[in-house]
């Protein structure tokens, strides 16, 4: 039986003429639907956010922070429910769904604290003027999010936007909008003023495009593909409003011959298998120094082959891909791997038995990949690691920087000079040494170089994108 989940606008459930089906990627079953909102629903949502935002921006910081903390607490109180729903709609292993709920709560808590210690400054000019800067909200911020980490990604932009005093309108991904709706309901329960957090569900071309074009939106936070990022940036440029673009990646793990492999291999494996490789910051390229190539490939191949794969709610190590089309896309890259590389392990879809009609693919390691070819350049977005070798640090750097992306990199070395050179010269928003990802890292500023995007979310810096700086000058 499918359940229907209305959009949430001005605190009220709202239906639209069209519906979008929601599928369980572990089984292929359609289990829910949401309205396909369009310009009319977006209009009402933006008007509600504008109206609520007018009082909210003047509400005491302590009161705004308290509301955010109450949302965080309610998310924690409902961790099991939210985690299960996230796991079901995205196909991620249950433990990850539960962890995502915990991190979602942490975002609300973190930005409650961040706004309480955030302030402008005074500017010394001369004795006859008093000059100060202050941060003001944009008014209404639009948030367009993907399906891979729906709760975490909404929280990392909605929490700072609300903290800064904005009203917000969220368009979650059509594949996985259910936790966003539940969370917005919890925000109402937490006493967040009505209209500050609206969720318009539906397709990108309808609800997403209507939100992007709406004249009442003062800033857009977009997380998703480069292709859609370009469409949204173009629309925002027409209206001359700022955007934050959190786009894709082809992030390398770079393993030097002096690396501690016992430490490196499990982290490298997890960095590509987490969420079945459908993570923007997935460690999807392996660059390994020649002399340790065989050993690293062998260790990773063994770990891949031993991976437990299954339906998300059974909490395996690896769940399904999000959808049939996404699986087809990944399989087409595996086909290329057979002709232009060496498939060391994996390479097949999994069907029947435990896998039923779900969208499962084996963890796959493809060696001898041409770094300049599609396997070495494209974001595959599946449990697929592509490997190539390097001779020395300069070649490692050239390969690491040799794609259009620049989101994250992992460096594995025990040499302190190599570590610092790589952090300095790898063109990526985050460079990790002897670790990768830092357990979610709500506190760490995140965002891309090059086509991985611009602007930063997360961390205290993440507040700035959701405000605009004003300079006040008073003649004394
Ligand atoms: P997508 O770009 O297809 O969709 C993202 C969102 O944009 C969805 O809500 C979608 O409905 C909406 N959208 C689509 N067309 C639109 C349009 N014309 N106007 C307005 N909105 C529109 O991305 P996806 O497939 O959901 O997610 C995968 C991509 O997201 C990958 O490239 C991944 O790397 C990226 N991603 C980046 C980050 C990051 O923080 N950098 C995080 C997660 C995912």
Give the closest residue to 328 by CA, choosing from 272, 251, 380.
380
Average pLDDT of span 34-52: 98
Residue with tokens 């084996």: 362
d(CA 26, CA 321): 8
Is 280 noted as a catalytic residue in this protein? yes
Query: 1: pLDDT confidence band, cut at 50, 70 and 90?
Result: confident
Residue 261: pLDDT over 80: yes
Eight-class DSSP state of 318: B
Cα angle 106, 461, 403; round to 5: 100
Residue 399 has φ and ψ, to the nearest 5°, of -70, -45
Mean pLDDT of the chain: 97
In short, whether 246's Cβ falls inside 6 Å of ligand 1 is: yes
> In DSSP terms, which residues pair with 129 in a beta bridge?
475
- 107, 153, 201, 228, best to mutate for ligand 1 pocket (most atoms within 8 Å of CB): 228
Q: What is the pLDDT of residues 386-408, one digit of tens each?
A: 999 999 999 999 999 999 999 99
How much is the CA Rg of the chain, to the nearest whole Å? 23
pLDDT value for 123 = 97
Ligand 1 centre distance from Cα of residue 56 (Å): 29
DSSP string, 410-446: EEE-S-HHHHHHHHHHS-SSEEEES-SSGGG-TTS-B
pLDDT value for 379 = 98
Query: 312: pLDDT confidence band, cut at 50, 70 and 90?
Result: very high
Residue 73: pLDDT over 90: yes
Q: What is the pLDDT of residues 149-206, one digit of tens each?
A: 999 999 999 999 999 999 999 999 999 999 999 999 999 999 999 999 999 999 999 9
Its pTM stands at 0.98
In short, whether 91's Cβ falls inside 6 Å of ligand 1 is: no
Taking each helix axis from N to C terminus, what angle separates 94-116 and 150-164, rounded to the nearest 10 degrees?
10
Residue 339: pLDDT over 80: yes
Is 379 noted as a catalytic residue in this protein? yes
In short, whether 309's Cβ falls inside 6 Å of ligand 1 is: no
d(CA 45, CA 34): 16
Distances (CA, A) of 389 to 166, 282, 289, 292: 48, 19, 5, 9
Q: How far is it between the farthest Cα atoms of the chain?
A: 80
Eight-class DSSP state of 461: G
Residue 33 has φ and ψ, to the nearest 5°, of -150, 160
Q: Which two tokens stand for residue 60?
A: 């005491």
Ligand 1 centre distance from Cα of residue 184 (Å): 20
Q: Which residues of 22-31 are buried (b: 16+ CB within 10 A; e: fewer)?
A: bbbbbbeeee
pLDDT value for 129 = 98
d(CA 83, CA 76): 10
Residue 438: pLDDT over 90: no
pLDDT value for 441 = 87
């Amino acid at each position: 039986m499918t359940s229907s989940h209305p959009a949430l606008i001005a605190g009220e459930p709202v239906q639209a003429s069209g519906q979008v089906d929601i599928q369980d990627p572990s089984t292929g079953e359609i289990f829910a639907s949401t309205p396909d909102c369009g310009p009319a629903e977006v209009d009402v949502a933006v008007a509600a956010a504008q109206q609520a935002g007018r009082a909210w921006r003047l509400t005491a910081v302590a009161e705004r922070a308290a509301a955010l903390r109450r949302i965080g607490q309610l998310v924690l109180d409902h961790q099991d429910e939210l985690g299960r729903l996230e796991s079901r709609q995205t196909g991620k292993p249950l433990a990850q769904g539960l962890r995502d709920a915990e991190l979602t709560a942490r975002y609300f808590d973190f930005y409650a604290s961040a706004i309480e210690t955030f302030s402008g400054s005074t500017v010394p000019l001369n004795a006859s003027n008093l000059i100060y800067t202050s941060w003001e909200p944009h008014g209404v911020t639009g948030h367009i999010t993907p399906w891979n980490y729906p709760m975490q990604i909404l929280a990392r932009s909605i929490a700072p936007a609300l903290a800064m005093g904005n009203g917000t309108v969220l368009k979650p991904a059509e594949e996985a909008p259910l936790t966003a709706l539940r969370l917005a309901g919890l925000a109402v329960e937490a006493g967040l003023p009505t209209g500050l957090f609206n969720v318009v569900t539906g397709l990108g071309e309808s609800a997403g495009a209507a939100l992007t074009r709406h004249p009442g939106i003062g800033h857009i936070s977009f997380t998703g593909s480069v292709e859609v990022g370009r469409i949204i940036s173009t629309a925002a440029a027409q209206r001359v409003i700022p955007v934050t673009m959190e786009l894709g990646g082809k992030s390398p793990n770079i393993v030097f011959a002096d690396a501690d492999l016992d430490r490196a291999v499990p982290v490298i494996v997890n960095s590509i298998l987490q969420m079945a490789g459908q993570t923007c910051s997935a460690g999807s390229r392996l660059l390994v120094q020649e002399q340790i190539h065989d050993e690293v490939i062998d260790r990773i191949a063994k770990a891949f082959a031993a991976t437990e794969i299954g339906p998300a709610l059974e909490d395996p190590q690896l769940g399904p891909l999000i959808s049939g089309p996404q699986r087809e896309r990944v399989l087409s890259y595996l086909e290329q791997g057979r002709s232009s590389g060496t498939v060391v392990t994996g390479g097949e879809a999994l069907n029947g038995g435990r896998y039923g009609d779900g969208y499962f693919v084996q963890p796959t390691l493809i060696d001898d990949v041409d770094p300049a070819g599609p396997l070495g350049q494209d974001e595959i977005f599946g449990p697929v690691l592509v490997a190539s070798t390097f001779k020395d640090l300069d070649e490692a750097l050239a390969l690491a920087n040799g794609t259009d992306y620049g989101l994250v990199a992992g460096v594995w070395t025990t040499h302190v000079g190599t570590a610092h050179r790589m952090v300095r010269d790898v063109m990526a928003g985050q460079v990790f040494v002897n670790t990768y990802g830092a357990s979610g890292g709500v506190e760490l500023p995140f965002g891309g170089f090059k086509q991985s995007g611009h602007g930063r979310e997360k961390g205290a810096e993440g507040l700035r994108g959701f405000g605009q700086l004003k300079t006040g000058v008073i003649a004394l």
